[in-house]
Amino acid sequence: MKLKIPFVSRLAVLAIAGTAFCIANRASAEDPDKQMNNNTTQKTNPSGVPDSTVDNPHLAKKPVASASTKLDPKDKEFISKAASGGMMEVEMGQAAEKQGKSEAVKNIGRMMVTDHTKANKELMSISKKKGLDVGKPTSIPGFGGDRQYLAQMVSDHQEDAKLFEQEAKNGKDADLKAFAAKTLPVIQHHLAMVKAANAKAK
């Protein structure tokens, strides 16, 4: 005997099934992470940094300090003074070599050009490595004769010797300390030469 299901009962069954289907779809839409089996919990940009970190300035990484900002102020001052002085010695040495009257002054001028050009190149290389741009001296004294040149060289190299000695002892940057320690004997030799020549010129 075939049972007859009332029409109203069939409507009730269909309504219950439809409701269950809607609830399941809604839960899936509200939780897409579960639908994707929790493969990812956060979007990332091409750099690999989560988007939430990029969008939030408080979570973003701070910019890395450049090499120049890491240098001690005294080291920066040394670079500036040593570079300026070295370039000036080369310019004045060239003038002395061309315009000097005595062979002693010409030879000293030639020595200054050779030694300070070499030291300047090394210092410029270190400065570039540290991210510093060293400019040229704003003014360079003209050649005023042998005696004036020698007196100027004595004064300049006395100051240079103190500057390089201080950096060699107290500098914070290892490269600059090594450069100062290596160059100091050259400056001291220059000082002895110009002192002797200056004494004979008087």
Show the tokens assigned to 149: 């040149």
**Domain count of the fold of the chain:** 1
Question: CA 99 from chain center: how many Å?
Answer: 41
Residue 84's domain comprises 70-201
How far apart are alpha carbons 137 and 122 in whole angstroms?
18
- The answer to whether 164 and 184 have CB atoms below 8 angstroms apart is yes
The count of residues in the chain is 202
The answer to whether residue 35 is domain-embedded is no
The answer to whether residue 18 is domain-embedded is no
CA distances from 25 to 11, 28, 92, 109 (A): 21, 5, 88, 91
- Residue 134: give its domain's CATH number: 1.20.1260.10
- pTM for the structure as a whole: 0.65
15-69 pLDDT per residue, tens: 455 555 444 455 455 554 544 444 544 444 554 545 544 455 444 454 444 455 5
The answer to whether residue 14 is domain-embedded is no
The 10 Å CB-count burial string (b at 16+, else e) for 114-151 is: ebbeebbeebbebbeebebebeeeeeeeebeebeebbb
Question: CA 159 from chain center: how many Å?
Answer: 28
Question: What is the structure's pLDDT at 31?
Answer: 52
Pairwise pLDDT comparison (97 vs 11), residue with the higher score: 97
Question: CA 96 from chain center: how many Å?
Answer: 37
105-160 pLDDT per residue, tens: 999 999 999 999 999 999 999 999 999 887 777 677 888 999 999 999 999 999 99
The answer to whether residue 32 is domain-embedded is no
- In this prediction, residue 196 has a pLDDT band, given cuts at 50, 70 and 90, of very high
Q: Pick from 52, 138, 146: which is nearest to 105 by CA? A: 146
The answer to whether residue 41 is domain-embedded is no
The answer to whether residue 141 is domain-embedded is yes
Q: Pick from 128, 143, 53: which is nearest to 89 by CA? A: 143
**Based on C-alpha coordinates, what's the Rg of the chain?**
39
Residue at token pair 């007196």: 151
**Other C-beta atoms within 10 Å of 79: how many?**
23
- The answer to whether 68 and 130 have CB atoms below 8 angstroms apart is yes
